[in-house]
Structure 1
Amino acid sequence: MKRKALALLSGGLDSTLAVKLMLDLGIDVEALNFTSPFCTCTGKNAGCKSEAVRVAEEFQIPIKVMSKGLDYLEVVRNPRHGYGKGINPCIDCRIYLLRKAKEYMAESGADFVFTGEVLGQRPMSQRRDAMRVIERESGLEDLLLRPLSAHFLPPTLPEREGWIDREKLLAIRGRSRKDQIQLADEMDVRNYPCPAGGCLLTELSFVPKVRDIFDHSDELKLRDCRLLKIGRHFRIGARTKVIIGRNEADNNLLENVMQTGETAITWMDGNTPAGVIIGDQDPAGIGLAARILLRYTKAEQSGACRVKVRRNGAEEIITVANDLNETAVTPYLIA
């Protein structure tokens, strides 16, 4: 009887190799890919979702893409197993993903789950003790196979029952990807744009932005987290924030994501970054946001400047002083 397994497929090197290995061993594979507002894994003009879909199409296997939802944001805010060096709840994140995979097993008809995890590769979630915790708390104990490091781990049910030939599984560990790159050549696996993956939650510079959302939101929203990737963020009120583009790409993104009730601001008399005010709005806050915006233009210092204010289809021109230098702006800057 041919067995079926669910693969956690990011589109990166390790998970791609794991899928190829299992297919070569005669396992029927379906892939799961999880999207997150905190992912930094990008190839040429594509993110992890696109890479995972590309890999699935190349291997001719079905793939289901799931979004990490609001329940995931609660995991980030209150992780049971704590954070890594940033605000990354890596152990809780793996448990979250694998619980979702377990829930999907019955629908897909899969017999077990496998991942591209490598023992010792990631300092928080891929330690031996952490792996055991993840297996137990995800509900996948004995049904979670890590084929790239299988020989360093106890045999799982699929191995003991002969669904998988354990002797054909691998013994890779550690942070170097030399073995994986060599294996990719041997298995004719090409075009892996994201060998290491990445998560903004591990970046120390990103921590203040996430903390600011947790501290100033009545309810968490995925959109608020997605916006963290765009521009400079300034907290100008308990429920008011302004985002100012760093470049033309940011300016275009801010224009495209702006919602009803939010305010766009631009300097009238020269090239300027775009600004969007989010949250509670009042004339004083709009004036402060405009002054912060002018700090990042070539407007004459201390001069009076015209700023276009656009909200809900209506426009007006306000005049504010360009009187904030870097020192004055810094207390408002989140990151």
Structure 2
Amino acid sequence: MTRVLAMVSGGLDSLLAAKLIKEQGIEVIGICFKSYFFSPENAIKMCKQIDMPLEIVDFSEEHFEMVKNPKHGYGKNMNPCIDCHAMMMTYAGELLEKFNADFIITGEVLNQRPMSQNKRSLDLVKKESGFSNKILRPLCAKNIEPTEMELNGLVDREKLLDISGRTRTAQIELAEKWGIVDYPSPAGGCKLTEPNYSIRLEDLMENRKNIEEKDINLLKYGRHFRLSPNAKIVATRTEEETINAKKCITKEDIVFFPAKFAGAMIAIIGNPSKEEIEFAAKVAGRYSKGKNEETLEVKYGHYTKPLQNIITVKPATEEELKQYMINN
């Protein structure tokens, strides 16, 4: 029996591609990738809808090394889509033997994304993967040259599709036909495609040599202010952000809280100077109920230890915040 590996992103297109091949009586195993910038959560939910087993591959460290310097550059933000897709296909190709599978399928659609899914980019991804003769794109197969899988009869080309462009009409109709109702928006879940996140990541890469997973995760929360190469402030906005940010800071980091007013958690990451510590206290004052006070007291100290230091400051002004804010 023919068996294939389906690269599943967690979006609708990749699931439809897998379902289309399953409809031909072919066994399909889902392959999903986990990195610092995207999770397998949506893929897990989606695969259950078509009763498809899923293998999760964590390639976080290697993926981040590629993100630092992608061979084919970035997209609109910090998203190296061509290199990322090629890396995924390489991993999937190396799994063919493990699962005794015949080829790989993806949910890519010709010209759906102008930079990463045009004819040249799709061909380039196949070539860079090292498994170009083992990759089939069922949703747009009739718009491109037949693969060896179609030519040798492993899959029926006549039952494949010719979807092209950015319209989603065909995909939505297929989803309704197959009873697939719970699927995310086409934007996907990759943080690297988000402008604000990309700006923060670029700043982190420019100012820190030894970047850890916690540093990357912290980029998701709060407001960020770059004071110097050695110090950055993170100001949370909600209780949920505070809870999540606390998972990303260490006992080496300094936290600030207004002494007599409710306010956000302020953390300074790195090795701050005396002046930078004072400014962090001013930021804590600004993002508190005491922001309109002439002066206020702010407690601070290393995270996980009692905050025994107190400093009196004037809350930061909007002009001061804008001077250092990485983004909003």
Query: Aligning the two structures, in what range does the TM-score lie when normalised by the shorter sequence?
Result: over 0.9
Question: Which residue identity is paired with 2:125?
Answer: I
1:212 aligned partner: 203
Among 313, 319, 322, the alignment partner of 1:321 is: 313
Structure-2 separation of matches of 1:248 and 1:203: 23
Structure-1 separation of matches of 2:237 and 2:312: 21
Structure-2 separation of matches of 1:220 and 1:167: 49
Shift of 1:244: 0.5
Secondary structure of the residue aligned to 1:278 is: strand
Does the aligned pair in 2 maintain the 1:4–1:111 contact within 8 Å? Answer: yes
2:95 aligned partner: 104
- The answer on 1:58 being equivalent to 2:57 is no
1:176-215 equivalence runs, <5 A: 176-215=167-206
Does the aligned pair in 2 maintain the 1:254–1:274 contact within 8 Å? Answer: no
2:155 aligned partner: 164
Shift of 1:220: 3.0
2:5 aligned partner: 6
Cα distance change on mapping 1:143 and 1:300 into 2, 3 Å:
closer
Shift of 1:183: 1.1
Among 287, 294, 303, the alignment partner of 1:296 is: 287
Shift of 1:189: 1.9
Shift of 1:196: 3.8
- The answer on 1:34 being equivalent to 2:49 is no
After TM superposition, the structure 1 stretch with the greater mean CA deviation from structure 2, 133-142 or 291-300, is 291-300
Structure-1 separation of matches of 2:85 and 2:135: 12
Structure 1: unaligned runs, 5 residues or longer: 40-47
The root-mean-square deviation of aligned C-alpha atoms, in Å, is 1.9
User: Over residues 163-195 of structure 1, what are the superposed CA-to-partner deviations in whole Å (9 max), with x where a residue is unaligned?
Assistant: 101110111011011110011112222211334
Q: Number of paired residues?
A: 326
Does the aligned pair in 1 maintain the 2:284–2:315 contact within 8 Å? Answer: no
Structure 1 length normalisation: TM-score? 0.91
User: Over residues 102-141 of structure 1, what are the superposed CA-to-partner deviations in whole Å (9 max), with x where a residue is unaligned?
Assistant: 2222222221111111000011110001100100010121
Shift of 1:301: 4.3
Does the aligned pair in 2 maintain the 1:33–1:63 contact within 8 Å? Answer: yes
Structure 2: unaligned runs, 5 residues or longer: none
Secondary structure of the residue aligned to 1:273 is: coil
Question: Which residue identity is paired with 1:4?
Answer: R
Question: Which residue identity is paired with 2:223?
Answer: R
Structure 2 length normalisation: TM-score? 0.92
Shift of 1:270: 1.5
Structure-1 separation of matches of 2:55 and 2:214: 22
User: Over residues 32-70 of structure 1, what are the superposed CA-to-partner deviations in whole Å (9 max), with x where a residue is unaligned?
Assistant: 11123334xxxxxxxx52221123233333212223422
1:45 aligned partner: none
Cα distance change on mapping 1:303 and 1:68 into 2, 3 Å:
farther
Query: Identity percentage over the alignment?
Result: 35
